[in-house]
């Protein structure tokens, strides 16, 4: 593995310091710091509700009033900027501050119900805690509390108990300032003030769950967690999100072997304190449809087998085959992906391996080998925030890497100019104040080659970034054009895959022609070094099959045995090829945690662990390792690497460490490849397909993905499924309400929506309920469809 720190590469100038005194203790802090932050640095905690370090100050709750010398009235520490020589006295040393805080607390509790015993927040509630630390022992209020009907839905997932709300406006500020989804707003006035939404516009934000987490009382709860547990009954484990390549830190809370909820955890360098709703709520899949024991096929039927029997069966089947292939889905940890990469070369003596069980191309493979695999961390979230210009290519951050979206939005609010090369100016792009560089699907390479001069000039600014999504694989000449653009402008180029395991699998060498750390297989010294590290005399020296070539070879009977791991056949654009390929392989060994289309066809199925049952590391899009610990300490399910190790033993082959620590040691020892890299692709720009209507498509964040199963409230907040076209295109179609879109395999009927889309292009969700393009239409991005108004 090749992760190096970028420390020392840039030196931030020292901010101007001022000296202030808090409760008699002097501290030097940068000018512009808020008093409440300065006090925190001294370990002095001033009580607060509306204050949140990532939201703009509002000074509404008045809980943090402190006494500042020379100022007649107590001042809110959350909004007061320090000035040199300022003397601050908090509740610890000032009777005025103490009295003011007690007064505010008494007011806050006035209309707050005493329903802590049935409130989800009870036990982890800032109001409860601070009422104890900063409140009077008893209230003098004897009147009637204000009440509201409870609870109301602000979205399918988020519920609001208005009488618990203390009007801190954290949720509304989050919605407006961070997510850019200002559907939550304060309504009415006085004690009738309440959070609410417009009647026809629920709070369907991809980031809505964060409001539940930052609510300092129990006013906002999620339908998924409401009334499910008491916080003090939960066991909390720091984890990493497995849903995308953003690499969010999470906290997984579990009780009696079941995950009860997940929270965004504090990681300033990555997700700050936020995550998306998929990362927060989509974990029920972990328990559904699990493979629980090894299975082997006997007389055409899968049956339960013991581990020794299944291992022996698999070992013999693999040994009997003369040619092999390995398909590692994009969800593996780097440790597991490394185990596959090593197993393929050492145990199966093949280089036929790919982690891209999705739309892929040889050009993309060349791009990844030459320019991404094993490269050091260069572009980070922080770089994005400081970048003057960011150009997005084949990448819709809000859907495909939501924390990248949040950081780009933050950057845009700070002045970063954002361009997106694509077919549609989406709402996500508008929220990033971005500009669309229109390109019909398939024309991206040509558009990049003829990019407007001012964008090229922009991109030549130091610090400029090009972000390219995994969908570039579907664009002929796309990766070549992107590399050329980066070379010509000097902008940093970064690849943002969608799945959490892809970057790790690439760094681990789970791709034909590539060994760990970005080592080209064809480089003799690189190959020799890896062979030595793995304790074998030699490794396959010719580049194996990958992507469609591997599947085609399988279909044509050229692959005798295949190992699959985390493979979802529905992710392949050519679903017929995928299925016939698996069917044609003589012997299929599946390492899966869930029953799927692949396990139905496999000859041996081994159960493997999901993320809660193992430890490991995801490498996020930055190239940053995001290690996580095993949540369920006593889980008995084994990781892929352990199962592969046992399988190798059954084959009488030694493959090296199969535990996480051991694999990390091996990866660390190999390190990054300093030598010459694989060759860059040079493919000509593709031609745009002829046809009246071309499809532009990507996977929406909340869709029919198998890892979102079992969470109906989350599913209900998905974007409405629609075909989005330009006004002109809609007019040409006669502005029908519904349209039927037809491709080679069939058609779907969806509602028509007008948007800022290139004429002649129809935007459709790739895999949403009622609109699964690969399965229902048999088309991928850039292909032609017919559209007709439907009744």
In the complex with another protein, the residue whose CB is nearer, 139 or 258, is: 139
Q: In the complex with another protein, which residue's Cβ is closer, 61 or 569?
A: 61
CA 75 – CA 101 distance, rounded (Å): 11
Nearest residue to 408 (alpha-carbon basis) of 178, 129, 680, 693: 178
Comparing CB distances to another protein, the nearer of 162 and 369 is: 162
- DSSP symbol at 743: E
Select 62 or 342, whichever has its Cβ closest to another protein: 62
HSE of 311, CA atoms in CB hemisphere, 13 A: 14
List the one residue out of 725, 720, 699, 703 whose CA is nearest residue 788: 725
* Distance, C-alpha 197 to centroid of its chain: 27
Helix (H) or strand (E) segment spanning residue 617 = strand 616-619
CB of 59 to another protein, least distance (A): 6
Nearer to another protein, 146 or 386 (CB): 146
Element (H, E) at 129: helix 126-134
3-state SS track over 439-504: CCCCCHHHHHHCCCHHHHHHHCCCCCEEEEEHHHHHCCCHHHHHHHHHHHHCCEEEEECCCCCHHH
Closer residue to another protein (CB): 67 or 398: 67
Comparing CB distances to another protein, the nearer of 186 and 706 is: 186
Smallest gap from residue 100 Cβ to another protein (A): 5
- Are the C-beta atoms of residues 364 and 512 closer than 8 Å to each other? no
- Min separation Cβ 196 and another protein, Å: 12
Q: What angle do CA 35, 37, 39 make, to 5 degrees?
A: 70
Q: List residues near another protein by CB under 8 A.
A: 57-63, 65, 72-74, 79, 99-100, 103-104, 106-108, 110-111, 140-141, 143-144, 146, 166-167, 185-193
Nearest approach in angstroms of CB 32 to another protein is 12
Rounded CA-CA distance 318/542 in Å is 21
How far apart CA 640 and CA 589 sit, in angstroms, is: 12
778 Cβ contact partners less than 8 Å away, ≥ 6 residues apart: 575, 743, 744, 745, 746
Residue 134 in tokens? 């900063």
Q: At closest approach, how far in Å is the CB of 667 from another protein?
A: 51
CB 639 within 8 A of CB 337: no
| Of residues 61 and 763, the one with the C-beta less far from another protein | 61
Least distance to another protein, CB of residue 107, Å: 4
Minimal distance, residue 171 CB to another protein, in Å: 15
Compute the 3-state secondary structure of the chain and give helix, strand, coil in percent, each to the nearest 5: 30, 20, 45
Residue 197 vs 383, nearer CB to another protein = 197
Comparing CB distances to another protein, the nearer of 73 and 454 is 73
Nearer to another protein, 8 or 190 (CB): 190
Residues 6+ apart with CB under 8 A from 279: 241, 243, 244, 246, 248, 250, 262, 264, 402
Closest distance between another protein and the C-beta of residue 54, in Å? 17
* In the complex, least distance from residue 93 CB atom to another protein, rounded to whole angstroms: 18
In SS3 terms, 517-568 reads as: HHEECCCHHHHHHHHHHCCCCCCCCCCCCCHHHHHHHHHCCCCCEEEEECCC
Residue (192 or 303) nearer to another protein, CB: 192
Measured CA to CA in angstroms, residue 344 lies from 340, 350, 354, 585 at distances of 6, 6, 10, 16
Question: Residue 772 has which token pair?
Answer: 């699964």
DSSP summary character for residue 33 = -
Question: Least distance to another protein from the beta carbon of 194, Å?
Answer: 9
Distance separating alpha carbons of residues 36 and 400, to the nearest angstrom:
36
Check residue 462 and give left, alpha or beta (phi > 0: left; psi -120 to 50: alpha). beta
Of 74 and 607, which CB lies nearer to another protein in the complex structure? Answer: 74
Least distance in angstroms from the C-beta of 165 to another protein: 10
Which residues, 6 or more positions from 54, have their beta carbon under 8 angstroms from its beta carbon? 178, 272, 273, 274
Beta carbon nearer to another protein, 107 or 307: 107
CA-CA distances (angstroms) from residue 35 to 28, 32, 173, 725, 770?
Answer: 12, 9, 21, 51, 53
Nearer to another protein (CB atom), residue 118 or residue 199: 199
CA angle, residues 241, 243, 246, in degrees to nearest 5: 70
Q: How far is the CB of 140 from another protein (least distance, A)?
A: 6
Q: How far is the CB of 166 from another protein (least distance, A)?
A: 7
> For another protein, which is the closer residue by CB, 192 or 427?
192
Is the Cβ of residue 56 or residue 450 nearer to another protein in the bound state? 56
Q: Of the candidates 692, 696, 689, 688, which has an alpha carbon nearest to the alpha carbon of residue 765?
A: 696
Q: Please, what is the minimum distance in Å from the beta carbon of residue 633 to another protein? A: 44
Q: Which CB atom, from 194 or from 350, has the smaller least distance to another protein?
A: 194
Phi and psi, residue 200, nearest 5°:
-105, 15
- The CA distance from 415 to 103, in Å, is 41
**Distance in Å, CB of 142 to another protein, minimum:** 8
Q: What is the 3-state secondary structure (H, E, C) of 197-252?
A: CECCECCCCCCCHHHHHHCCCCCEEECCCCCCCCHHHCEEEEEECCCCCCCCEEEE
Cβ atoms 78, 31 nearer than 8 A:
no
**Shortest approach of another protein to residue 186 CB, angstroms?**
7
In whole angstroms, the minimum distance from the beta carbon of 63 to another protein comes to: 7
- Residues present in the chain in total: 791
- Cβ 137 to another protein, closest distance in Å? 16
The stretches of 561-686 forming alpha helices (DSSP H) are 575-584, 597-601, 640-650, 660-670
């Amino acid at each position: 593995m090749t992760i190096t720190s970028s420390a020392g590469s840039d030196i931030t100038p020292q901010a101007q310091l001022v000296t202030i005194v808090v409760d008699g203790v002097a501290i030097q802090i940068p000018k512009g710091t808020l008093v409440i932050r300065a006090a925190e640095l001294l370990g002095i905690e001033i009580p607060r509700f509306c204050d949140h370090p990532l939201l703009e100050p509002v000074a509404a709750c008045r809980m943090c009033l402190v006494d500042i010398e020379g100022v007649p009235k107590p001042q809110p520490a959350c909004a007061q900027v320090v000035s040199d020589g300022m003397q601050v006295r908090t509740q610890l040393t000032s009777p005025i501050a103490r009295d003011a805080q007690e007064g505010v607390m008494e007011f806050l509790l006035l209309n707050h119900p005493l329903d802590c015993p049935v409130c989800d927040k009870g036990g982890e509630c800032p109001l409860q805690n601070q009422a104890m630390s900063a409140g009077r022992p008893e209230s003098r209020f004897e009147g009637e509390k204000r009440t509201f009907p409870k609870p109301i839905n602000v979205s399918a997932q988020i519920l609001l108990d208005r009488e618990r709300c203390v009007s801190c406006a954290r949720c509304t500020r989050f919605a407006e300032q961070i997510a850019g989804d200002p559907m939550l707003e304060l309504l009415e006035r006085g004690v009738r003030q309440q959070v609410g939404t417009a009647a026809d516009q629920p709070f369907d934000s991809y980031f809505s769950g964060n409001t539940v987490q930052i609510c300092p009382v129990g006013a906002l709860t999620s339908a998924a967690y409401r009334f499910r547990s008491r916080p003090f009954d939960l066991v909390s484990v720091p984890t990493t999100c497995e849903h995308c390549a953003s690499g969010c830190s999470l906290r997984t809370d579990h009780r009696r072997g079941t995950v009860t909820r997940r929270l965004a955890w504090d990681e300033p360098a990555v997700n700050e304190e936020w995550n998306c709703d998929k990362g927060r709520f989509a974990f029920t899949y972990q328990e559904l449809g699990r493979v629980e024991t090894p299975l082997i096929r006997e007389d055409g039927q899968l049956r339960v087998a013991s581990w020794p029997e299944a291992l022996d069966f698999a070992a013999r089947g693999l040994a009997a085959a003369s040619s092999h292939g390995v398909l590692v889905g994009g969800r593996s940890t780097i440790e597991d992906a490394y185990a596959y990469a090593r197993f393929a070369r050492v145990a199966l003596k093949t280089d036929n391996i790919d982690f891209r069980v999705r739309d892929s191309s040889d050009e993309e493979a060349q791009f990844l080998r030459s320019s991404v695999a094993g490269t050091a961390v260069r572009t980070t979230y922080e770089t994005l925030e400081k970048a003057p210009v960011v150009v997005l290519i084949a990448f819709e951050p809000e859907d495909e890497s939501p924390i990248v979206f949040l950081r780009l939005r933050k950057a845009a609010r700070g002045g970063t100019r954002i361009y997106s090369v694509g077919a549609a100016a989406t709402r996500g792009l508008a929220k990033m104040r971005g500009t669309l560089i229109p390109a019909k699907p398939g024309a991206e390479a040509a558009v990049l080659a003829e990019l407007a001069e001012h964008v090229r000039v922009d991109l030549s600014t130091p610090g400029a970034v090009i972000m390219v999504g995994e969908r570039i694989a579907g664009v002929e000449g796309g990766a070549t054009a992107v590399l050329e653009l980066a070379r010509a402008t000097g902008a940093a180029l970064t690849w943002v895959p969608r799945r959490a395991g892809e970057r790790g699998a690439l760094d681990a060498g789970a791709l034909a022609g590539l060994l760990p750390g970005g080592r080209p297989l064809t480089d003799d010294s690189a190959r020799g070094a890896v062979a030595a590290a793995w304790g074998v005399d030699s490794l396959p020296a010719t580049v194996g099959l990958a992507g469609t070539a591997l599947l085609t070879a399988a279909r044509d009977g050229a692959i005798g045995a295949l190992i699959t791991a985390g493979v979802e056949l529905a992710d392949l654009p050519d679903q017929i090829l995928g299925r016939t390929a698996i069917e044609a392989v003589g012997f299929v060994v599946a390492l899966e945690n869930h029953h799927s289309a692949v396990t139905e066809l496999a000859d041996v199925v081994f159960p493997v662990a999901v993320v809660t049952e193992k430890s490991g590391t995801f490498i996020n899009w930055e190239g940053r390792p995001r290690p996580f610990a095993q949540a369920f300490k006593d889980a008995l399910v084994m990781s892929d690497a352990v199962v592969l190790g046992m399988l190798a033993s059954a084959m009488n082959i030694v493959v090296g460490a199969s535990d996480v620590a051991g694999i990390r040691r091996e990866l660390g020892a190999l390190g990054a490849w300093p030598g010459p890299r694989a060759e860059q692709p040079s493919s000509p720009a593709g031609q745009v397909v002829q046809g009246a209507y071309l499809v532009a498509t990507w996977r929406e964040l909340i869709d029919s993905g198998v890892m979102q199963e079992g969470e109906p409230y989350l599913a209900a907040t998905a974007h409405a499924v629609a075909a989005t076209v330009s006004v002109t295109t809609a007019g040409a179609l006669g502005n029908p309400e519904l349209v039927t879109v037809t491709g080679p395999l069939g058609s779907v009927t969806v509602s028509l929506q007008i948007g800022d889309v290139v004429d002649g292009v129809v935007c459709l969700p790739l895999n949403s309920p009622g609109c699964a393009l690969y399965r229902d239409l048999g088309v991928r991005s850039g292909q032609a469809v017919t559209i007709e108004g439907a009744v």
